Amino acid sequence: MQPETKKILLVEDDDALGYLLSEYLKIKNFSVEWAKNGKSALEILRKNQDFNLAILDVMLPDIDGFDLAGRLQKDFPNLPFLFLTARSLKIDVLKGFSLGAVDYLKKPIDEEELVARIEAILSRMGTDQGTENQPKETYKIGEYTFDSQNQELKHEKESISLTGRESEILEFLIIHKNQLSSHKELLTKIWGKDDYFNRKSLNVFISHLRKYLQKDPHLSIENVHKRGFILKVE
């Protein structure tokens, strides 16, 4: 039985690189749709949301890659994405992860490394779908209700739409409430690897979640220095 062909949305405005990557990915048995700008990418997704992963160039001619990522998180929250960029500033890498990117590759791109990263991401996602936490659940946590399937956090009449990363982290913390969730556990489970940039990105998402949960004084996310975080529920 043949494995299912994974569908990739490639958003790259450079004709030479876009052609090279799309053809190489096809050789590696991926189905590839190539968009040369952000507007085309959004049009493709509105017609067909059956993609497993999006690859976004940061420097696009119309919509900035970071802005496009924000649109994806809002309109297509279940679509994971990674960035390709010639920009190597640490702040850009951190910004990419804070927007929910699952990975970040710097140009010039090594095609074999790209494929290895893609396969690792898709493998990790496939494994997650078989975990004991599936299917996604609705959790009652203090004064809040968290619908992990729809990535929605509710407090009284207010509803907050979370990003995919925020939802994954919050669900992990809820499942392990009043227990230490170590940096390594969180990063390995959600990002697939424990490194400097992912740790910085995790801190950004934790800050977001603290802000969302601040209306209930009996809830807090405490930082345990150099070890991890605890979702305290009184």
Query: How high is the mean pLDDT in each 10-residue block of the chain (234 residues)?
Result: 78 94 93 95 91 92 89 86 79 77 84 86 63 62 91 91 88 91 87 81 92 94 93 92
**What one-letter code names the amino acid at 136?**
K
| CATH T-level assignment (fold) for domain 138-233 | Arc Repressor Mutant, subunit A (1.10.10)
In angstroms, the CA 162 to CA 168 distance is 10
- Quote the DSSP letter at residue 134: P
Please tell me the CATH code under which domain 7-128 is placed: 3.40.50.2300
In angstroms, the CA 185 to CA 53 distance is 24
User: What's the pLDDT score for residue 24?
Assistant: 93
CB-based contact 204:98 (threshold 8 Å): yes
Q: Would you say the pTM of this structure is higher than 0.75?
A: no
User: What's the pLDDT score for residue 109?
Assistant: 87
How many helices, marked H, and strands, marked E, lie in the chain? 8, 12
User: What's the pLDDT score for residue 123?
Assistant: 77
In angstroms, the CA 208 to CA 93 distance is 18
From the number of C-beta atoms within 10 Å of its C-beta (0-12, 13-18, 19+), residue 160 rates as: middle
- Bridge partners (DSSP) of residue 105 are 84
Judged by phi (left if over 0) then psi (alpha if -120 to 50, else beta), residue 180 lies in: beta
Contacts with 2 (C-beta within 8 Å, 6 or more apart), sequence order: none
Calculate helix-pair angle for 196-212, 164-175, nearest 10 degrees.
Answer: 80
Contacts with 120 (C-beta within 8 Å, 6 or more apart), sequence order: 192
Question: What is the residue extent of each domain of the chain?
Answer: 7-128, 138-233
User: What's the pLDDT score for residue 3?
Assistant: 58
Whether 138-233 and 7-128 are alike in CATH topology: the answer is: no
In angstroms, the CA 66 to CA 59 distance is 9
User: What's the pLDDT score for residue 147?
Assistant: 92
User: What's the pLDDT score for residue 7?
Assistant: 94
User: What's the pLDDT score for residue 226?
Assistant: 87
User: What's the pLDDT score for residue 135?
Assistant: 46
- Quote the DSSP letter at residue 24: H
The Cα-based distances of 79 to 72, 109, 211 in angstroms read 7, 22, 25
- Bridge partners (DSSP) of residue 66 are none
CB-based contact 121:102 (threshold 8 Å): yes
